[in-house]
Amino acid sequence: MQYIKTPMKGMPEQLPADMQLREYLLGKIKATYGSYGFSLIETPAIEHIENLTSRQGGENEKLIFKILKRGEKLAKADGTDELCDCGLRYDLTVPLSRFYANNMAQLPVPFKAMQIGNVWRADRPQRGRFRQFTQCDIDILGEGSFLAEIELISATASMLAQLEFSNFKVKVNDRRILKAMAACCGFAEENYDDIFIILDKIDKIGLDGVKAELLGAGYDSSSVERYCAFFENLGKGMSCTEFCADRLDGFLDPAVLSDLEYIINCARATAVGEMQIVFDPTLVRGMSYYTGPIFEIELPDFGSSVAGGGRYDEMIGKYTNAKVPACGFSIGFERIITLLKERGYRIPDQKKRTALLIDKKIGREELLGALQRAAQLRAGGETALIVYRAKNIRHQKETLEKEGYTEFLELPEKD
């Protein structure tokens, strides 16, 4: 039998130098979000298939890694739909909703949750996009006011600014505005999600492409013309009130616009660094569970969003039979790591790392001295590695430098 030594496509392995950067970033995320009062929790990697296929995850439900039933349960399975009873989570929001419903009696209200863990999607791997990847989420549960959105945007923007990212853009919209535009144009409610998926492609295919796809899908031409007219003057920096003007009277509660304006103004007033925050009526977010404000963050160096989230007030109620307001923001951890590595980012104030390279013929007393020397360095707060000196010492040092070692001591020392 021939063994395959490469990992599954889209399931990355991490070298020591990669892990140093990842651990540094995770520590930065935990410290920043912790300063905003978010508490770290953990949920299982595997969820019941009913929870994962509840039509709340949008397109991601097509990308679930399903797990077969075991033993007698598998033998008795009748048909494809009964072959699996669980799957790997595709995000952290669905597990969080179940977690909160299961533990809400022991949690404060509002509850500010921080969750970091791997998720899995049977996607096509590409730059910054994997089948197994780490997500970092913050969510505020039990807070129905716009304070939740403001805090989530502020915390996430602060996180990116600390990593020396500048001039990033926060795009904001509201699912209720999207639905009001669709209703105003005469589209049936059951078609909203399909229409939004097409609109979400506008950055790639343009407004003409959106129009062509809507017509190709069989939607009424007059409805399509009215709908696309909403987006003809994009790029002029309009506020949400200016964009909607009087066109959505009777279809949208005016409070939605005033609240969204307030969220945007507060985020601008507390902005960190060179952050821009703009209203973007084409912002959709793929998850159908969003019910109110939605947001994404774009970096100039990356072709797509590096963070996103929004309000999902109806999801937890599916588990508790009681309405629980909820809002969350997720950082694209792998995309941030990709950008940091491409920029040659160096971890600041990194602990000094010294490698003690000892001769293979070193005597016992000299070896004891080397061990004591390493112990002294560690007691002083340094990292000290003891390793036998290789024949190709130049290559050995180059390899160790990639792992962050900056000082080298050859023992026993030469006179």
Q: Are residues 111 and 140 in the same domain?
A: yes
Q: Which of 183, 192, 160 is nearest to 307 (CA)?
A: 160
Q: How confident is the model at residue 244, as a pLDDT? A: 85
Domain boundary among 342, 372, 400: 342
37-46, 77-86, 251-260, 332-341: which range is least confident on average?
77-86
Would you say residue 141 lies in a domain?
yes
Task: Please state the domain count of the chain.
Answer: 2
Would you say residue 265 lies in a domain?
yes
Q: Are residues 247 and 396 in the same domain?
A: no
pLDDT digits (tens, 9 = 90+) for 174-227: 999 999 999 999 999 999 989 999 999 998 999 999 999 999 999 999 999 999
Q: Which range in 49-63, 70-84, 114-128, 237-251 is most confidently predicted, on average pLDDT?
A: 114-128
Q: Which range in 19-33, 57-71, 77-91, 258-272 is most confidently predicted, on average pLDDT?
A: 19-33
C-alpha–C-alpha distance, residues 263 and 327, integer Å: 13
Q: How confident is the model at residue 236, as a pLDDT? A: 65
Confidence of residue 74 (pLDDT cuts 50, 70, 90): low
Mean pLDDT of the region 127-133: 84
Mean pLDDT of the region 7-16: 90
Would you say residue 388 lies in a domain?
yes
Q: How confident is the model at residue 286, as a pLDDT? A: 73
Q: What is the largest CA-CA distance in the chain?
A: 90
Which position has the higher pLDDT, 299 or 180?
180
Would you say residue 81 lies in a domain?
yes
Q: Are residues 148 and 296 in the same domain?
A: yes
Would you say residue 7 lies in a domain?
no
Cβ atoms of residues 340 and 317 within 8 Å: no
Q: Are residues 239 and 381 in the same domain?
A: no
H/E element, 121: none
Q: How confident is the model at residue 36, as a pLDDT? A: 95
Q: Are residues 262 and 289 in the same domain?
A: yes
> Which domain range does residue 53 map to?
16-182+235-342
CA dihedral angle for residue 134, residue 130, residue 205, residue 248, rounded to 10 degrees: -30
Residue 274 pLDDT > 80 = no
Mean pLDDT of the region 89-106: 94
Tokens for 227, please give them.
Answer: 């709908």
Q: Are residues 71 and 156 in the same domain?
A: yes
Domain boundary among 302, 323, 342: 342
Question: The domain that contains 296 carries what CATH number?
Answer: 3.30.930.10
pLDDT digits (tens, 9 = 90+) for 332-348: 899 899 889 988 888 88
Q: Are residues 270 and 379 in the same domain?
A: no
Q: How confident is the model at residue 234, as a pLDDT? A: 74
Q: Which of 245, 267, 268 is nearest to 257 (CA)?
A: 245
Residue 25 pLDDT > 90 = yes
pTM: 0.88
170-184, 207-221, 233-247, 316-330: which range is least confident on average?
233-247
Side-chain half-sphere of 38: how many Cα atoms within 13 Å?
28
Residue 138 pLDDT > 80 = yes
Distances (CA, A) of 24 to 30, 56, 330, 350: 10, 33, 18, 9
Alpha helices in 42-126 (DSSP H): 49-52, 71-75, 93-103
Mean pLDDT of the region 262-282: 86
C-alpha–C-alpha distance, residues 14 and 8, integer Å: 14
Q: How confident is the model at residue 80, as a pLDDT? A: 58
C-alpha–C-alpha distance, residues 66 and 122, integer Å: 10
C-alpha–C-alpha distance, residues 201 and 322, integer Å: 35
Q: Are residues 392 and 251 in the same domain?
A: no
Residue 75 pLDDT > 90 = no
pLDDT digits (tens, 9 = 90+) for 289-298: 899 999 999 9
Q: Are residues 373 and 264 in the same domain?
A: no
